[in-house]
Chains A and B, each alone.
Chain A
Amino acid sequence: MKTAVVLLPGLNRDRDMIAAIEKVSGQPPLTVWQTDTEIPPVDLIVVPGGFSYGDYLRCGAIAARMPVMRAVAYHAARGVRVLGVCNGFQILLEAGLLPGALMRNASLKFVCREVKLEVANAQTVFTNRYTEGQIIRCPVAHHDGNYFADPEVLARLEDNRQVVFRYAEGTNPNGSINDIAGIVNEAGNVLGIMPHPENLIEDAHGGSDGRALFESVLEIAA
């Protein structure tokens, strides 16, 4: 499967993401710059983490209005898989590809540590190599990861099983409503996740609990 990674000024997890994709799939991803208006045909588009545009205005707000994001929306509407991690999740929300918003952490502190995630839905293209209810380790590093959606949107997310990852009991690092760590869109081809699975894919990372996400979405032969 072919992958493209979106590059924007101020991102800093792009190289980790590129390395993870190459490690898992054996193929280096294409990269597309913020001013690109077209993305070549790929099976997966990834918006990595960081601090695009210095988090000015709101996290992800400026990046979401760049030309490349119109191309991402175009492909997402046609079923191409899209993964946004951390700032990438914030960008997908600001671009309207996912519902809700990510606000300042309830503690007001930047959190950089490992949490535990529960795989809340293992029947998505991003999680089918996990088992339902599986608890995995995953690092987080963010200041604005406090997921919020109004009651109607939240009910719809829960009813449709669009909540894919939750912070396991007692590890919610940011005050997210319903312990939400990652959600998919209604069609199931766009995932936004606050923690960093790309930083836990091989033993040198101290664990590989994030690897199955990439093996799922890239359909790596088991």
Chain B
Amino acid sequence: MIKARVTVTLKNGVLDPQGKAIEGALGSLGFSGVGSVRQGKVFDIELDDADKAKAKADIEAMCEKLLANTVIEDYSVEMM
């Protein structure tokens, strides 16, 4: 079995009101010096595949087709 971790983040320049709210909450907890927070999503995926290169290509296709909205989000794939 092959495991992969996909991280989806908002593109630079796309406003992230949720990140801003988290940033504010960290400040009110007393964490000073938080420059900025951007939030995103993590997907841990297990594949039956044995071929790592094919698995990576499949995961990237999954990102393009569903896991990320490439209008506003970037993704990165880490094969575990």
Binding site for B on A (CB under 8 A): 57-58, 61, 65, 93-94, 99-101, 103-108, 146, 148-150, 175
Taking the complex as formed, is B72 at the interface, i.e. its CB lies under 8 A from any CB of chain A? Answer: yes
Is there contact, CB below 8 Å, between A101 and B18? no
Q: Give A96's nearest chain B residue, CB to CB.
A: B71
Give the complex CA separation of A105 and B67 in angstroms.
21
Give the complex CA separation of A103 and B15 in angstroms.
9
Q: Give B67's nearest chain A residue, CB to CB.
A: A57
Chain B: minimal CB distance from A71 (Å): 18
Most buried by A among B15, B66, B71: B71
Within 8 A of A (CB), among B15-36: 15, 17-18, 21
Give the complex CA separation of A17 and B78 in angstroms.
44
**Choice from B14, B15, B21, B69 contacting A61 with Cβ under 8 Å:** B69
By a CB distance below 8 angstroms, the chain B residues around A106 are 15, 17
Is there contact, CB below 8 Å, between B66 and A57? yes
Within 8 A of A (CB), among B57-74: 65-67, 69, 71-72
Interface size on B, residues (CB 8 A): 11
Other 5 A-B pairs with CB < 8 A, given A57-B66, A106-B15, A148-B15:
A58-B69, A61-B69, A99-B71, A103-B15, A104-B18
Is there contact, CB below 8 Å, between B69 and A150? no
Q: Beta-carbon contacts of B41-66 to A below 8 Å, as 1s and 0s?
A: 00000000000000000000000011
A61 and B66 contact, Cβ closer than 8 Å, known pairs A105-B17, A106-B17:
yes
Tally of contacts, chain A with chain B, CB under 8 A:
36
Give the complex CA separation of A104 and B17 in angstroms.
7
Chain A: minimal CB distance from B51 (Å): 25
Give the complex CA separation of A148 and B15 in angstroms.
9
Give the complex CA separation of A58 and B8 in angstroms.
12
Is there contact, CB below 8 Å, between B15 and A149? no
Is there contact, CB below 8 Å, between B66 and A148? no
Q: Give B41's nearest chain A residue, CB to CB.
A: A57
By a CB distance below 8 angstroms, the chain A residues around B15 are 103, 106, 148, 175
Is there contact, CB below 8 Å, between A108 and B17? yes
Chain A: minimal CB distance from B24 (Å): 10
Give the complex CA separation of A101 and B65 in angstroms.
15
Q: Give B10's nearest chain A residue, CB to CB.
A: A103
Chain B: minimal CB distance from A181 (Å): 18
Is there contact, CB below 8 Å, between A108 and B72? no
Q: Can you list 29 A-B contacts (CB < 8 A)?
A: A57-B66, A57-B67, A58-B69, A61-B66, A61-B69, A65-B65, A65-B66, A93-B71, A99-B71, A100-B71, A101-B69, A101-B71, A103-B14, A103-B15, A103-B17, A103-B72, A104-B17, A104-B18, A106-B15, A106-B17, A107-B17, A108-B21, A146-B17, A148-B15, A148-B71, A149-B71, A150-B71, A175-B15, A175-B17
